[in-house]
Amino acid sequence: MVVRYWRKSVLISVIVFSFLFSLYYLPSSDDSFFRSGRLFQSDRSRFLAQVRQQRFELEERQFDEEPRKVEDESDAISVERCQFIINMTKFAWENYRKYAWGFNELKPLSRSEHSASVFGNGKLGATIVDALDTLYIMGLKEEYEEGRNWVKNFFDLKTADISVFETNIRFIGGLLAAYALTEDKMYIQKATNVANILLPAFETPTGIPHALVNPVSGRSHNWAWANGGFSILSEFGSLQLELDYLSQLTQNSIYSTKVARIREIVLSVRTEDGLYPNYLHPKSGKWGPKHVSVGALGDSFYEYLLKSWLRSSKNDTVYKEMYDAALAAIKKYLLRYSSQNHLAYFIELKGKREVHKMDHLACFIVGLLALEALNENDIKRRNDALKLAEEIANTCHESYIRTATGIGPESFRFTKEVEVMAIKDSEKYYILRPEVIEGWFYLWRVTRKNKYREWCWMAAKNIEKYCRTTGGYSGIKNVYSSEVVHDDVQQSFVFAETFKYLYLTFSNDSIMPLNKWVFNTEAHAFPIVT
């Protein structure tokens, strides 16, 4: 009895001592950010204060030459995979710098510059601005400094007509994210200059902005193909994260006033069924033909409803109410399950006609639903959102594994004969898009199910195998053929989104935690208001 009691006392003492030792000596999960496969170390109290305040002082960073110590095999694998993604990013950046520096994008096969129509015809450095926060998060100090210096000395938007939407999410978004990470006020000045260039586009009878604006003349207009002068839901509905944040930083309400007016108009013309058509006329304030989609033309409108609520620290409940109503309508009218394997997907509506097609873009909704589940207080709603997120994630995964390259097509269809496959040649391409990876990233963070990490790793390896060329990364024209034909474009968003989401999937959750940061639709990170 005495011996048994003595052993028990010794055991308890050992446990208590070990516990106290760990509290005092062992670093917390917040003690370090993993960067470039190395451990960033700083004074403990200063670093914890920086994490709590969401500050990253670039000039004080130090990188050890020793690799990060790992505790188990899974941690070691994640470190290796992070480094793999960093190497991809460095390779893409080095080739852009070598062959297209300062231009918008790179043609990796031609080894020359490329510029899409959304950028006008100017040398805007879209890749540089899109890459800044990703380079910083990865700890690529030299590459980040190269980009910062170019923005400081050469960034200018004097060009032909530019897309208000793309300029907002890429340039204003990229510049504000760079500020949020570094507190370098140069970025606020640059973002303000860009926003001021976009302001004339809002001078319409309703305040719904035109799609295009000329930085020199200030004239604005809509896309010629947009149903005769209509503005596009995903474009005018995806401006508030950036412009509200800019107003907060500059203490100038002109930007937030513009997006507040958009919300007023949208609320005033709600439809009976709760669905939002993809077109709204900036003169009449009336909806266009009933084309409804959670993919192209609609997608990021819904994304910004939830994320605007989150960035307000959940104080702006109007956005949450709009989101809840919109998602309820989407589930009621657009959600379908395939007849063959009961795969969940969203249709498009064109009038009364159902189009059983889902875009790669629409896979973004996986991440949106996961984010909803993470922040939903109602247990049933939380479970329903997560269940649907995982169902759609599986469908998007099927679109990848049913191709020869293991990469998904631009869109895929569901018929009696075909399930989750592209049918038309015009749907079979892949342009380095991030949405599927984005959804898996969010589900990994929310559920901790390792399969989502593995799916991301599969995608990363296949992008490396089929999209890498001698001069960078290129989209491919047919994902169903292993004999790939490249499209010769390295999109700027491969830095902003695809590489970033892959890196964060294998990083520690203390890097860009979802309770402190919100990503815009170009994956640029903004801090949640506190």
Per-residue pLDDT tens for 389-402? 999 999 999 999 99
Over residues 421-446, mean pLDDT: 99
C-beta separation of 173 from 131 below 8 A: no
Long-range contacts of 16-23 (CB under 8 A, 24+ apart): none
What is the three-state SS of 471-505? CEECCECCCCCCCCCECCCECCHHHHHHHHHHHHH
Is CATH 1.50.10.10 what the domain over 73-525 is classified as, yes or no? yes
Tokens 């062959």 appear where?
Answer: 99
pLDDT tier, 436 (very low <50, low <70, confident <90, very high otherwise): very high
Q: Given the residues 133, 166, 244, 488, select the one marked as catalytic.
A: 166
pLDDT tier, 159 (very low <50, low <70, confident <90, very high otherwise): confident
Six-digit token string for 330: 């989407």
C-alpha neighbours within 13 Å on the C-beta side of residue 260:
9
DSSP per position, 270-310? --TT----SEE-TTT--B-S-EE-SSTTTHHHHHHHHHHHH
C-alpha neighbours within 13 Å on the C-beta side of residue 240:
26
Question: Which stretch of 121-130, 309-318, 351-360, 430-439 has the lowest confidence by average pLDDT?
Answer: 121-130
- Does residue 94 have an active-site annotation? no
Q: Given the residues 299, 359, 376, 488, select the one marked as catalytic.
A: 299
- Does residue 166 have an active-site annotation? yes
Q: Looking at the predicted structure, is the pLDDT value of residue 31 above 70?
A: no
Six-digit token string for 468: 């890498």
Is the pLDDT higher at 134 or at 160? Answer: 134
Amino acid at 280: L
Six-digit token string for 423: 């049918």
Q: Phi and psi (nearest 5°) for 98?
A: -75, -40
Over residues 448-455, mean pLDDT: 98
Question: Which stretch of 64-78, 182-196, 432-446, 454-468 has the lowest confidence by average pLDDT?
Answer: 64-78
For 22, counting Cβ atoms within 10 Å of its Cβ (0-12 exposed, 13-18 middle, 19+ buried), the class is exposed
Which residues have C-beta within 8 Å of that of residue 400, sequence separation ≥ 6?
A: 406, 407, 408, 436, 455, 458, 459, 462
* Residues pairing with 472 in the sheet: 469
Q: What is the share, in percent, of the chain residues with pLDDT greater than 70?
A: 86
Q: Looking at the predicted structure, is the pLDDT value of residue 75 above 80?
A: yes
- The dihedral over CA atoms of 252, 255, 259, 262, expressed in degrees to the nearest 10, equals 110
Over residues 513-521, mean pLDDT: 99
Q: Looking at the predicted structure, is the pLDDT value of residue 163 above 80?
A: yes
Q: Looking at the predicted structure, is the pLDDT value of residue 466 above 70?
A: yes
Q: Given the residues 105, 133, 410, 438, select the one marked as catalytic.
A: 410
- What angle (nearest 5°) sits at the alpha carbon of residue 104, between those of residues 219 and 120? 20
pLDDT tier, 69 (very low <50, low <70, confident <90, very high otherwise): very low
Domain limits, the chain: 73-525
Amino acid at 25: Y
Over residues 43-59, mean pLDDT: 40
C-beta separation of 68 from 39 below 8 A: yes
pLDDT tier, 272 (very low <50, low <70, confident <90, very high otherwise): very high
Give the model's pLDDT for residue 118.
83
Give the model's pLDDT for residue 160.
80
Tokens 């930083």 appear where?
Answer: 249
pTM (2 d.p.) = 0.87
- Does residue 64 have an active-site annotation? no
Of 191, 183, 116, 113, the closest CA to residue 157 belongs to 191
Give the model's pLDDT for residue 387.
99
- Distance from CA of residue 24 to its chain's centroid? 38
Give the model's pLDDT for residue 474.
99
Amino acid at 446: V
Give dist(CA 67, CA 39) in Å, integer: 7
Give dist(CA 115, CA 109) in Å, integer: 15
Is the pLDDT higher at 329 or at 33? Answer: 329
Six-digit token string for 298: 């609609």
Q: Looking at the predicted structure, is the pLDDT value of residue 239 above 70?
A: yes
Give the model's pLDDT for residue 122.
80
Give the model's pLDDT for residue 73.
56
Give dist(CA 441, CA 460) in Å, integer: 12
Question: Which stretch of 12-21, 25-34, 71-80 has the lowest confidence by average pLDDT?
Answer: 25-34
Buried b or exposed e, range 259-298, using 16+ CB within 10 angstroms: beebbeebeeeeeeeebbbbbbbbeebebbebbbbbbbbb
Is 498 labelled as part of a ligand binding site?
Answer: no
Quote the mean pLDDT of the chain. Answer: 89
Over residues 509-514, mean pLDDT: 97
Q: Given the residues 133, 435, 487, 488, select the one marked as catalytic.
A: 435
pLDDT tier, 33 (very low <50, low <70, confident <90, very high otherwise): very low
Q: Looking at the predicted structure, is the pLDDT value of residue 470 above 80?
A: yes
pLDDT tier, 215 (very low <50, low <70, confident <90, very high otherwise): very high
Over residues 119-142, mean pLDDT: 95
Give dist(CA 464, CA 498) in Å, integer: 12
Over residues 100-125, mean pLDDT: 92
C-beta separation of 354 from 291 below 8 A: no
